[in-house]
Amino acid sequence: MQKFQQYIGGEFSGGGAQFESIDPATGRPWALMPEARVDDVNRAVEAAEHALFSPEWSGMAASQRGRLLYRLAELVAENAGRLAELETRDTGKIIRETSAQIAYVAEYYRYYAGLADKIEGAHLPVDKPDMEVWLRREPIGVVAAIVPWNSQLFLSAVKIGPALAAGCTVVLKASEDAPAPMLEFARIFDQAGFPKGVLNVITGFGDQCGSVLTSHPKVNHVAFTGGPSTARHIVRNSAENLASTSLELGGKSPFIVFEDADLESAVNAQIAGIFAATGQSCVAGSRLVVQNSIKEEFLARLKEKAEKIVIGAPDDMATEIGPLCTQRQRDHAAELIAASVRQGARIVAGGVVSEGEGFYFPPTILDCSDAPETPAVTCEFFAPILSVLGFDTEAEALEIANNTEFGLASGLFTRDLARAHRMIRGIRAGIVWVNTYRAVSPIVPFGGHGLSGHGREGGLQAALDYTRVKSVWLRTSDEPIPDPFIMR
C-alpha cells in the first residue's frame, strides 16, 4: 500500500500512528495515512505561530506573498493530473470531474495572488484637526482550516488562498476520509518557496486531532466546511480560545422550475445539479420544486436521462457516476430512502443498491408530492438522490423553497424576468442561480445562513475576513498635551 506523510514546520513525517484509507471503487484498503495525535497538532500550531511572527513571513512585502501564491498556482496546474488521480482513487469521484475541477483550482490561487497587495487600509477624516487617523488591515493570525473529503482541493484553496494573501499562517486538517490529495498537495506547496510553517497539513480523528486543533489557545480563526453537527462541536471548542469562525455547512437546495422555463436546459441543469459528483456536493440541487402543469413531462425527461447515466469505475473517462466515498454514506442513503418510501414517497428511478464490490449507488428520483415531510425532502443525503415536489402558484413555490433549515444554494428556471426578481428577493439562500446551476468563480463569494453556516468564501470579502482592523491615532500638534487636571 502507498504511504503518505503529514507536513509540519516544512518537514514531512509519517512514522507515528497510521490508519488505512479505503478505495471506494473496491471497498478495500489502498493506502496508509498518518494519524495526527495531540503532540502532532501542538507541533503544527506552534510551527504556524512561529512562522506568523518570523521576519521571513511577517516582514515579507505583500507583493512577494503574491508572487509565492502565483508560483503555487503554477505548481497546482502542473500537477493537476497527479492530484486528480489521487482524488479519484481515494474519494471515488470520477476522473473527468476531478481533472476539470483541480485544473480550475489554480485560478483561485491566481486570484488571491493578485489580491495580496490590494488588501488596503483607510484614512479617516476625524473631527480633531491635530490628529491623523488611519486603519491598518493586519493578518488575523493562525488559521485552523478544516476541509471535508469532497472537493477538498477547491475547498482548501478558498481558505488557504485568502489566508496567505492576508499574511496569516495555516494548519490545514484534511478529512480522515480520503486525505491523500491534501497530503500530496503539501508536497506541491513545499516546492513553492514559502517559509517553513506557513502551511501545515495534518489529518486525524476527533478528540486527538480536530478538537485539539479547534480549541488550541494559539488558533485565532477556524474556517470549516462540513456538516452542522460537527460545526456545533467547533463552535463550542472555539469558546476556549475565542477564535472567530467561518462555517460553510450543508444544504438541501431547491431547484425551482416554472412552466415557462426552457425545459431542455432545466432538465440538463437538474441532472448536473444532483447527479454530478455522485450527489456528494453541499450545493447539490437535491429538491426539485416543479410547477404541476409540467411536472409529469419534466419527470419523464429526468427519468430517461437518469437511467442512461453510465455508472462505472471512477478512473474510466467514460464513467459519469462513480461510487460514494464511504460505506456509511451508502447505508445512510439506503435507510433514508426506505424510510421515505414507507412514509409515502414514490420511486421514479433508481433506489436499489446494486450487488458487487464498491460503494455504488444508482441515480435515484423520488416523487414526494404526497409526502412533503419525508427524510428525502428534509435531510441532506450526500448521494445521487433527488426529491420532487409540485406547486401551482409562485407563492407556493417560494414557500416550499424556504421550508428548510438550510440556506446555501438555490436554482430558478423561468423566462419571466419580473418573476425571477421577485423570487430572488424571496429565496432565503446564499446563492441564487437563475437559468443555470453550479457556476463558480474565484471573484464571487459563496456561503449560506441557517444550518448552512455563516461567513463567505471566495472573492475579496474572504481575504478581508482573514484580517483584523487596527486603528492608528497620530497627533500632529507640537503643542504640549494640556494637564488634564488643570481646568481652563
Q: Enter the C-alpha cell of residue 235.
A: 463552535
Strands 6-8 and 11-13: antiparallel
Q: Are 9 and 43 in contact (CB under 8 A)?
A: yes
Amino acid code (one letter) for 138: E
Residue bearing cell 433527488: 386
Chain centroid to Cα 187, Å, comes to 22
What whole-number distance in Å separates Cα of residue 390 and Cα of residue 410? 16
What whole-number distance in Å separates Cα of residue 216 and Cα of residue 200? 15
Cα 176 to Cα 183, 259, 315: the distances in Å are 11, 44, 22
Q: Enter the C-alpha cell of residue 73.
A: 498556482
Q: Are 116 and 144 in contact (CB under 8 A)?
A: no
* 248 a catalytic residue: yes
The length of the chain, given as a count of residues: 488
- Helix pair 152-165, 80-91: axis angle to 10 deg: 130
Q: Which residues contact 485 (CB under 8 A, 6 or more apart)?
A: none
Residue bearing cell 488643570: 486
Chain centroid to Cα 175, Å, comes to 12
Q: What are phi and psi of 290, to 5 degrees?
A: -120, 140
Burial 173-204 (b: 16+ CB within 10 A, else e): bbbbbbbbbbbbbbbbbbebebbbbbbbbbbb
Q: Please tell me which residue in 97, 248, 380, 457 is annotated as part of the active site.
A: 248
Q: How many helices (H) and strands (E) does the chain have?
A: 16, 21
Show which residues are catalytic: 248
